[in-house]
Amino acid sequence: MKYNTLFFDIDNTLLDFSKSEEIALTLLFEHYQCADYENIREIYHMENRKLWDKHENGELSFERLLKRRFPLTLAHYGRDIDGEEWDAKYHSLLREYPFLMAEEVPEVIRTLSKSYRLFIATNGVTQTQIARLKKMGLFEFFEAIYTSQEIGYQKPDVRFFEYIKENTQAFDAKQALMIGDSVKADILGGNQAGMDTCLLIQGKSNESEIKSTYEIEGLRELYAILN
């Protein structure tokens, strides 16, 4: 076998984060009696993206990002809120409403776990990601869960992957494959780490200069790649 170790992203690769996020935000804003949902959601996405850009540039810590995004959103409405409280509620809702990215996900993960070492490499909150995997019956198949919160750096930062290399027993980049939906996070990060990479395109085309070793429409196509 060319590969013996597979690293999977979670959000929009194994689990449908977009769907979970939509429900979590709706219920969060309803819980705190926020009207004008469509506009407040757009403002949230705008403020959240600004903070993530700062975080990716090393200008803002992950913890600060989580505390600031909802206060910045509600400031547009003249409301002063407790960012930690809101973020805790938001993540409790994310944990409560996970969804598979595709029906085939459990079968593929279960099948591959019989022949390969499986790991998670994800940007996100550790306990939220673990809870979502457990709720969907996937957690038990992974040898370890590597998260940006735990590591202190996020994909594609080389330090994220250096941590993985140092903490994964018998790691060999030439025998490892990084699988995910993000060109910038998963493919660039995996490429820089010396790993082969597999982009889950799901009907989209990769127009970026960053190229993966493989492209697949669905996870079952991994069977052919892995032989």
Q: Out of 9, 11, 181, 186, which one is annotated catalytic?
A: 9
Contacts of residue 20, defined as CB under 8 A and 6 or more positions apart, other chains included, come to 94, 97, 98, 99, 132
Tell which residue, 84, 93, 185, has the closest CA to residue 132: 93
Tell which residue, 169, 99, 175, has the closest CA to residue 138: 99
Residues 15, 69: Cα–Cα separation, whole Å: 23
Residues 219, 108: Cα–Cα separation, whole Å: 7
Residues 117, 37: Cα–Cα separation, whole Å: 43
* 62: Cα within 13 Å, side-chain hemisphere: 13
Is 9 catalytic? The answer is: yes
Q: Which two tokens stand for residue 133?
A: 């995997």
Catalytic residues: 9
